Amino acid sequence: MSGTRKDGEQGGSQGVTRRHMTLSAYDNAMTQFDQAIKVLGLKPNQVAMIKDPRKVIILTLPVRMDDGRIEVFTAYRVQHSIVRGPAKGGVRYHQDVTLDEVKALALWMTMKCAVVDIPFGGGKGGIVVDPTRLSRSELENLSRRYFAALADDIGPDQDVPAPDVNTNAQVMAWFMDTYSMHFKRHLPAVVTGKPLQVGGSRGRDIATAQGVVFCLEEAADHLKMDLKGATVAIQGFGNAGANAARLLAEKGARIVAISDVTGGYQNDAGIDVEAAIAWKKEHNGLLTRFETSKKAKAMKNPMQLLELPVDILIPAALENQITGENAPRVRARVVAEAANGPCTPDADEVLNAKGTFIIPDILCNAGGVTVSYFEWVQNRVGFYWPLEQVIQELRRVMATSFHAVLDASIQYKVPMRVAAFIVAINRLTAAAELRGLYA
Ligand code: GLU
């Protein structure tokens, strides 16, 4: 298929390694959760109210293909939490999607929304499909069928999907149209990350990357380092990775390596980011043979990008990229997690021991869902904000959240990830206790 993989939220480097499949992302998420529970000394009843996903939906979707065949796809939607508001989180299209992964991603969404204190719970969806093998109309049929099947379980006050790996604004427009036609009224707030023409928010396209950069500015301040002249390696050149590269280059940072599913590309003098983005546009959303542009050398093994001696490493692709195995070789001073779950608990242990400053995913990449919240608000009020307002509000949310997590990290003497879970779990527990049990 053509028009979709280009703009996938964290997409772009899926397939660089299949490691993310063999480790359980949900086990990792549980380990992270349990670390924070232990520090907080929560009681079993408090944990019971917030830990497990509230609803797991497994769908079988028959879709008519262009040649007349009917192909059957497996899809998921997991609503992890509705304690602080409607479930919220993206939908991922990937051949390796598993229920385990979607459950982990849904839990991370709950934590993420709580860390940035927006009034949502957490959810995630996924379809087991390699979207590159579908035509545009097949992709539309599949997307509509998925949303129609979910119609009773989603809604502006129930569960609000958004883009994730390999889904984009066009897919969100199909989702919104399917839902609105189904219920015979205009319901744009059912989904965020829509195109501007049909109720999207200004700034949503760059929001994840912008949030990463706001976090990096706060981190640089804290660590007394300068973003200007800092060296950066970015794994994944989808929406998050490519926009982070652009925004950091604008700040004077030197992007020395980038990668996607087609390989890794390195230039110690600094990659011309605009050239890479233009190249990607011309090559169906991928960096295919970018080395032939003479703007970078091809790396022998793209996984080596993670081990380069850079100031800042930005994993912006999939889970489980930095593990106990390669973490000893990671040399970055700061790891900014634009992807969800890129570091395993084993990797954390190694990186924490050597003093790497990790900005954890549930803080670092929360800019996307934060502007999703702004979009949902704009849809419900029917009044649309200028870009400057979106960016200004996003900056405020990211800076406040960064400092809430940093303060918790100092107060409890724990790494930033545990601190982020502590901030989130405190907010969740407070809400769960105030609400109590309905029946
Ligand atoms: N998929 C993005 C994430 O992982 C955005 C979710 C949203 O906007 O709801 O945070």
Tokens found for residue 369: 């869902």
pLDDT given for residue 145 in this prediction = 98
pLDDT given for residue 305 in this prediction = 98
Considering only the C-alpha atoms of the chain, give the largest distance between any 2 of them, rounded to a whole number of Å. 66
pLDDT given for residue 149 in this prediction = 98
From first CA to last CA, the distance across the chain in angstroms is: 48
Whether 9 is in the pocket of ligand 1, judged by its Cβ within 6 Å, is yes
DSSP letters along 269-327, please? Answer: T---HHHHHHHHHHTTTS-TTGGGGTSSEEPS-GGGGGGS--SEEEE-S-SS-B-TTTG
Asked if residues 266 and 309 have their Cβ atoms less than 8 Å apart, the reply is no
Best mutation site among 97, 101, 109, 176 for ligand 1 pocket (most ligand atoms within 8 Å of CB): 109
Whether 192 is in the pocket of ligand 1, judged by its Cβ within 6 Å, is yes
Taking the C-alpha atoms of residue 32 and residue 417, their distance in angstroms, rounded to an integer, is: 8
Ligand 1 mean position to 439 CA, how many Å?
Answer: 32
Neighbouring-strand partners of residue 315 = 235
Taking the C-alpha atoms of residue 207 and residue 247, their distance in angstroms, rounded to an integer, is: 11
List Cβ neighbours of 49 (8 Å cut-off, separation of 6 or more): 83, 429, 432, 433
Q: Of the residues 124, 194, 224, 300, which is catalytic?
A: 124
Q: Angle 89-52-106 (CA atoms, 0-180°, nearest 5)?
A: 15
Taking the C-alpha atoms of residue 33 and residue 29, their distance in angstroms, rounded to an integer, is: 6
Q: Is the model's pLDDT at 1 over the cut of 50?
A: no
Taking the C-alpha atoms of residue 219 and residue 123, their distance in angstroms, rounded to an integer, is: 28
Q: What is the mean pLDDT of residues 396-404?
A: 98
Distance, C-alpha 423 to centroid of its chain: 19
CA distances to 108, 130, 299 from 269, rounded to whole Å, are 36, 35, 15
Torsion sign, CA atoms 215, 216, 217, 220: positive
Q: What is the mean pLDDT of residues 286-315?
A: 97
pLDDT given for residue 50 in this prediction = 97
Atom number of ligand 1 nearest to Cα 340: 4
Q: Which of 302, 12, 3, 367 is nearest to 165 (CA)?
A: 12
Do 52-187 and 207-364 fold alike per CATH? yes
Whether 201 is in the pocket of ligand 1, judged by its Cβ within 6 Å, is no
Q: What is the percent of the chain with per-residue pLDDT over 90, rounded to a whole number?
A: 95
Q: What is the mean pLDDT of residues 49-77?
A: 98
pLDDT given for residue 23 in this prediction = 82
Give the pLDDT band of residue 439 (cuts 50, 70, 90). confident
Q: What is the mean pLDDT of residues 57-69?
A: 98
What amino acid occupies position 117?
D
Q: Using the CB atoms, write b or e for 381-417: b if 16+ within 10 Å.
A: eeeebeeeebbebbbebbeebbebbbebbeeeebbbb
Average pLDDT, the chain: 95
Whether 239 is in the pocket of ligand 1, judged by its Cβ within 6 Å, is no
pLDDT given for residue 175 in this prediction = 98
Tokens found for residue 412: 């409890």
Asked if residues 319 and 300 have their Cβ atoms less than 8 Å apart, the reply is no
Taking the C-alpha atoms of residue 153 and residue 88, their distance in angstroms, rounded to an integer, is: 12
Atom number of ligand 1 nearest to Cα 92: 1
Asked if residues 170 and 6 have their Cβ atoms less than 8 Å apart, the reply is no
Whether 372 is in the pocket of ligand 1, judged by its Cβ within 6 Å, is yes
Q: Is the model's pLDDT at 379 over the cut of 70?
A: yes
CATH code reported for the domain at 207-364: 3.40.50.720
Whether 368 is in the pocket of ligand 1, judged by its Cβ within 6 Å, is yes
Whether 365 is in the pocket of ligand 1, judged by its Cβ within 6 Å, is yes
- pLDDT tens for residues 108-145? 999 999 999 999 999 999 999 999 999 999 999 999 99
Ligand 1 mean position to 354 CA, how many Å?
Answer: 30
> Looking at residue 340, what DSSP letter applies?
S
- pLDDT tens for residues 163-184? 999 999 999 999 999 999 999 9
- pLDDT tens for residues 3-38? 333 345 555 444 344 555 568 999 999 999 999 999
Best mutation site among 97, 110, 164, 361 for ligand 1 pocket (most ligand atoms within 8 Å of CB): 164
Atom number of ligand 1 nearest to Cα 164: 1
Q: Is the model's pLDDT at 259 over the cut of 80?
A: yes
Q: Which of 42, 119, 131, 51 is nearest to 86 (CA)?
A: 119
CATH code reported for the domain at 52-187: 3.40.50.10860
Q: Is the model's pLDDT at 359 over the cut of 50?
A: yes
Q: Is the model's pLDDT at 96 over the cut of 50?
A: yes
Whether 104 is in the pocket of ligand 1, judged by its Cβ within 6 Å, is no
What amino acid occupies position 378?
Q
413 is catalytic: no
Residue spans per domain, the chain: 52-187, 207-364
